[in-house]
């Protein structure tokens, strides 16, 4: 038989355990009530405050569009000249109709908290970049930055004309940072006959290769310039386009 002292200790322990259990149940019920009633309100208030803080801390970014021809572009031994015309802006809401708008920074709920702008309009820079890429390729290129090509209306001084439309030209921070440049290129002969229509797309980081990152530039600038670099490279080295430019004179 246990001694009276041992029995008293056992009773005390069971009483303490029961009180602890009741406190745990009470705390659990409070947590349930809090999750059901109080916490959603608290969560909404916290998210609202976070959004205000993020909006206050993040400002619009300005990037410099730079294209450096890569050494990996091989020269064509014989190719006919091409005129490169301004590409139509078909980005929709992505660009807000602004040729300098090239991206944005977004909150976790998709709310835009800041925008990314190019120091110079991207359509002109893209024409210049493509002309530089074709020149390195060994193709004589004439850049026409002030107008789009209109088949059978636009006068062309070269055997070929290159135009088209851009569907994406942006660098964006959402859950992750990405950049995307894509569009439809169209190659015409001097008379305006469509010879080739093709979709070209470049995404960073998916297509990151051969681009020398600028340590002095922002990540937004580096990502966008890397996408432009890959897009230009994909256009000037496209096998179908190359076949037509390098055809016998």
Helix pair 122-137, 219-236: axis angle to 10 deg: 50
CA distance 227 to 198: 18
Domain boundaries, the chain: 1-57, 61-245
Q: Which class does domain 61-245 fall in?
A: alpha beta
Span 125-177, pLDDT tens digits: 999 999 999 999 999 999 999 999 999 999 999 999 999 999 999 999 888 88
The whole-angstrom separation of Cα 122 and Cα 104 is 15
Residue 33 burial (CB count, 10 A): 11
Of 47-61, 104-118, 179-193, least confident by mean pLDDT is: 47-61
pLDDT tens digits along 38-84: 344 454 444 344 444 444 457 889 999 998 877 677 888 889 999 99
Please name which of 180, 68, 177, 169 lies closest in space to residue 118, comparing C-alpha atoms: 169
Return the CA Rg of the chain.
31
């Amino acid at each position: 038989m246990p001694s009276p002292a041992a029995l008293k200790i056992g009773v005390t322990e069971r009483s303490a355990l029961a009180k602890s259990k009741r406190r745990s149940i009470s705390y659990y019920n409070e947590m349930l009530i809090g999750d059901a009633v109080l916490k959603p309100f608290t969560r909404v208030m916290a998210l609202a405050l976070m959004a205000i803080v993020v909006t206050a801390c993040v400002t619009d970014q300005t990037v410099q569009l730079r294209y450096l021809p890569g050494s990996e572009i091989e020269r064509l031994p014989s190719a006919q000249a091409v005129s490169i015309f301004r590409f139509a802006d078909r980005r929709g809401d992505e660009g807000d109709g602004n040729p300098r708008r090239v991206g944005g920074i977004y909150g976790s709920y998709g709310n835009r908290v800041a925008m990314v702008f190019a120091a110079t309009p991207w359509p002109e820079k893209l024409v210049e970049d493509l002309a530089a890429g074709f020149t390195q390729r060994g193709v004589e290129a004439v850049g026409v930055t002030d107008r789009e090509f209109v088949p059978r209306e636009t006068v062309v001084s070269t055997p070929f004309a290159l135009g088209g439309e851009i569907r994406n030209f942006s660098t964006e921070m959402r859950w992750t940072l990405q950049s995307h440049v894509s569009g439809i290129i169209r190659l015409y002969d001097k008379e305006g006959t469509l010879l080739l229509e093709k979709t070209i797309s470049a995404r960073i980081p998916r297509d990151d290769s051969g681009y020398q990152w600028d340590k002095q530039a922002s990540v937004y600038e580096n990502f966008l310039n890397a996408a432009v670099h890959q897009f230009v490279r994909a256009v000037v080295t496209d096998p179908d386009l190359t076949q037509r430019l390098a055809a016998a004179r």
